[in-house]
Amino acid sequence: MDDSKIAIISYETILNLLNGKNSGAVALYLFYYKTCFLQKTNIIHATDTFCMTGLEWGKQKFYKAKAILIKLRLIELHKIRNKETGQIQMTYIKIPYFLTLARILLDQTVEISTTQETPPLGNRETNAYNKKLNAYKEEKENAYNKKENKELCDFDEILEYWNSREIIIHKKISNLGIKKILSTISYLGIDRLKEAIKNYSLVLKDERFYFNYKWHLADFCIRGMSKEGLELKKGFWMFLPENKPFQRFSANGKEINPYEEEFRPITSTYDKFNVLDTSRSTYYGFDINLIKSPTVIINDIKDRLVLGLKLTRTDFKDIELIVASYMFRRKSDPQPKKLEGWLEVWRRLKPEFQEGD
């Protein structure tokens, strides 16, 4: 027995869960426990999508069970925010009521009497080979668990990102599909695959592009990892930046910036058919000099977001200027992650300022 392994404890905990016949809460609690065991910690990365996929549950059943666990204080939510945008970047689940088996066994141990006869010393045979073999097996098992756990987290991250782009939303994926997705992650890397997914979703949603075929996530990966896909750069390969998807699928053959169709500032005046006005030295109605050097504005808005301060319409205007700045510099100094991050902030806050403060 490995005394370092965590164990679920407290008879009262089980009684609390079973009161009111909360079978869903019991199942979810045990699922969190299993994840704790795999990740070897009681503060785990287990997103809602990951849990719903693993349990094969719908949203209503899952959120009802999760609400019960939160109400009973059997789980706690620990949120990590993005330092730049103030957005919640990752949520960890903490399971507070855990002890190690070693601690439990220690509490159950009866103190040995000091009058007990001491066994003779003599020469004791040790099996160094077995110890070495056991250590090797344990090391190999730990390495396997870490690899398996990383793959689960990687798969969950990609699935959640795919669903967030609203191409085809998946509640569950077959085992074969999961293997193909993990194979693609291993070959391409998470960031590159997410970039391909993002560009694919932008092409699908913009009528100026002629490509409109919707793949499932697994098919998106399978197509790219096939022999033809690898040789001819099909599937996800078509949507990577080096293959110029915004020019390749443009109806008129000219490169299109899909963000320009979505980004329509509400705090400035500009000609949507001529966002770069050289006669007035403006871009989207913002002064070009501010567009080129937005560092002070970025830092100020980041501080306000991180501190959770109430934003004014002037602050929102600065956010629109920041988005415009990253779009203006997308060729000379491309920073797609920052552009996407600030666009997400803009999307989230826009309804509040649509009619002013």
Could you tell me which residue, 3 or 48, shows the higher pLDDT? 48
Rg of the chain in Å (alpha carbons): 27
User: Looking at the DSSP assignment, which residues form a beta bridge with residue 6?
Assistant: 100
| CB-CB contact of 70 with 77 (8 Å) | yes
Question: What is the widest separation between alpha-carbon atoms in the chain?
Answer: 100
CA proximity to 103, closest of 173, 3, 225? 3
Within 8 A by CB and 6+ apart from 300, the residues are 318
pLDDT, one tens digit per residue, over 130-168 is 444 455 455 545 554 555 567 777 888 889 889 888 899
What's the mean per-residue pLDDT of the chain? 77
The CA distances from residue 33 to 5, 27, 54, 96, 156, in Å, are 11, 10, 13, 11, 18
Average pLDDT over residues 174-203: 90
CA angle at residue 313 from 310 to 314, to 5 degrees?
100
In angstroms, how far is CA 300 from the centroid of its own chain? 26
pLDDT, one tens digit per residue, over 218-242 is 999 999 999 888 888 888 999 998 8
Q: What is the pLDDT of residue 126?
A: 38
> Has residue 272 got a pLDDT over 90?
no
Average pLDDT over residues 58-62: 85
- In the sheet that 282-283 helps form, which strands lie side by side, from edge to edge? 276-277, 282-283, 286-287
The pTM score is 0.46
| CB-CB contact of 266 with 350 (8 Å) | yes
DSSP 274: B
Give the Cα separation of 218 and 259 in Å (integer): 26
Average pLDDT over residues 68-94: 76
Within 8 A by CB and 6+ apart from 226, the residues are 234, 235
> Has residue 248 got a pLDDT over 90?
no
Only one residue has tokens 């509490």, namely 107
Give the Cα separation of 325 and 171 in Å (integer): 37
> Which CATH code is given to the segment(s) 1-108?
1.10.10
> Has residue 10 got a pLDDT over 80?
no
| Candidate from 44-58, 72-86, 113-127 with smallest mean pLDDT | 113-127
Q: What is the pLDDT of residue 119?
A: 40
The CA distances from residue 149 to 53, 62, 218, 220, 315, in Å, are 15, 22, 20, 24, 41
| CB-CB contact of 45 with 90 (8 Å) | yes
Within 8 A by CB and 6+ apart from 327, the residues are 257, 259, 260, 263, 284, 339
Average pLDDT over residues 294-317: 89
Extents of the domains making up the chain: 1-108, 150-248, 258-353
Q: What is the pLDDT of residue 95?
A: 82
> Has residue 1 got a pLDDT over 60?
no
| CB-CB contact of 17 with 8 (8 Å) | no
Average pLDDT over residues 52-69: 85
